[in-house]
Structure 1
């Protein structure tokens, strides 16, 4: 998959110099960025990002959303940038399905995701038309009390509303989320509620059009099946008439002559020895009788019998 525009913007916005908290992680970040942008070696860039996150340890991202000390904050910033580059590398390798699980292995719970990582994940899964992946993750992050104090909370709530809830038809949840949020003023709430109402109307119209199209397809399918059933019934009727005609024809065949011919053939083949000289006159006579019987069987019904 090609590089996401949002991911490119985030990547370009990263500063070139990092606080000297973890020299190894910062060096790995620079290598990963060069491999991603310049050399386009996405697998190697992802490997550098994983090594950098592992070098920082689990404590680096634990206080990213809670406002920890300056040193922990610097490490969290480096870790966030490593994850941004790693997400971009996974997207370039068409491994975007692994993005969320890959990020959560370093942040463990959705509430600890940095705002930039959450925004990038929402944009990515919205771009590939799978917003349901971020439904529970975004809801958990927005319900967290610590995250509500972040300056990015309002923009992320709006992004989650427009890119996740509304495309999934979660209109009641979107309305409750907007009404229960104290970040927006009355004008912003009214604007968002208007967007939710318009989106719901469009959703209802699309559902009605989809239902009408399905009903039309069902009607067409029933019409086709009805025509096929009528043709099948006609064929079965013709087949029944043909079988009845054949059966009536078979009833007119003289079965006695058929049995006589079969018995004579049995005598010739089984009971008599063709190698014996005494059986030749009798065989000749049986052959003549067999020919006469066969001619009588194959002749028309009203044909006079063959004279001996």
Structure 2
């Protein structure tokens, strides 16, 4: 069943027909790619240079963009939405309120509110948009779904206090929301910092225990190698180097791999400690990097 024909006064009949087809493709046939194509064709036909005035085509153009946004979201192509609509409106200040609303909700849903940070600020800062009846609701939406999730509390307070669309009661209610969000944000930051400190302490404890065990093993190994070198008249430094290389081969450690660098650095430190422990300052052989 097809949707009822849409009546668009003083606009291109071709664009209205494309809008109707796009709605059918989106809702009935679930052919999202074809719906986007119809919306693009409709927006292109409403270009001022194509013979249609901006005033008469504003509503149908907005509807085409709304359908296109929904179709792109259904295809999980939400990253393209903002650039897609801006190719028809060119600057954020000219976006219709409905399009701004959908973009804010979409990027909030996918947890990418920062995408709308500059766009929303530009739109709300435009003097022409401030006279629109939707301005107050869009400011509140921008506050709740963009500024507060990003921790922009000072900017949120300035925006609320500078908005003439709110009366004193509405301003106080929104400022209370900002205050509660700031307190929650601070509490979560403290909990996160405490968890990181606890994890770091646990990691250092485990590494300390492993380092002590490894240091003991290296100390015993150095003593054994020193005894062997004295008994078999072999160069002590060459035996120690060969043993270390053998260890790398046995544990299948790639010295050139970035992931192995912290371990090698740790082994070098432990080797220096073992060297200091085994030898006295008088008979200690020099270590060359």
How many residues were matched structurally? 230
Q: CA deviation at 1:244?
A: 2.7
Aligned to 1:290: none
1:210 and 1:48, CA in 2 relative to 1: closer, same or farther beyond 3 A? same
Aligned to 2:28: 38
In the aligned structure 1, how far is the partner of 2:213 from the partner of 2:119? 57
Contact 2:6 2:16 in 1 (8 A): no
Aligned to 2:121: 139
Aligned to 2:74: 92
Q: CA deviation at 1:220?
A: 1.5
Q: CA deviation at 1:226?
A: 0.9
In the aligned structure 2, how far is the partner of 1:19 from the partner of 1:32? 19
1:21 paired residue among 4, 11, 18: 11
Q: Which runs of 4+ in 1 moved over 4 A?
A: none
Q: Deviations over 1:76-107 (max 9, x none)?
A: 10000000011011111111001000000000
Aligned to 2:43: 53
Unaligned runs of 5+ in 1: 1-11, 61-70, 252-308
Q: CA deviation at 1:33?
A: 0.8
Return the index of the structure with the highest Cα Rg. Answer: 1
1:149 paired residue among 131, 148, 170: 131
Q: Which has the higher contact order (CA 8 A, sep 6+)?
A: 1
Q: Is 1:236 matched up with 2:218? A: yes
Aligned to 2:203: 221
In the aligned structure 2, how far is the partner of 1:211 from the partner of 1:53? 50
Aligned to 1:64: none
In the aligned structure 2, how far is the partner of 1:58 from the partner of 1:229? 73
1:239 and 1:15, CA in 2 relative to 1: closer, same or farther beyond 3 A? farther
Aligned to 1:195: 177
Q: CA deviation at 1:214?
A: 1.0
In the aligned structure 1, how far is the partner of 2:126 from the partner of 2:192? 38
Q: CA deviation at 1:227?
A: 1.5
Contact 1:58 1:106 in 2 (8 A): no
RMSD across aligned positions (CA): 2.0
Contact 2:104 2:116 in 1 (8 A): yes
TM-score by length of 1: 0.71
Aligned to 2:106: 124
TM-score by length of 2: 0.76
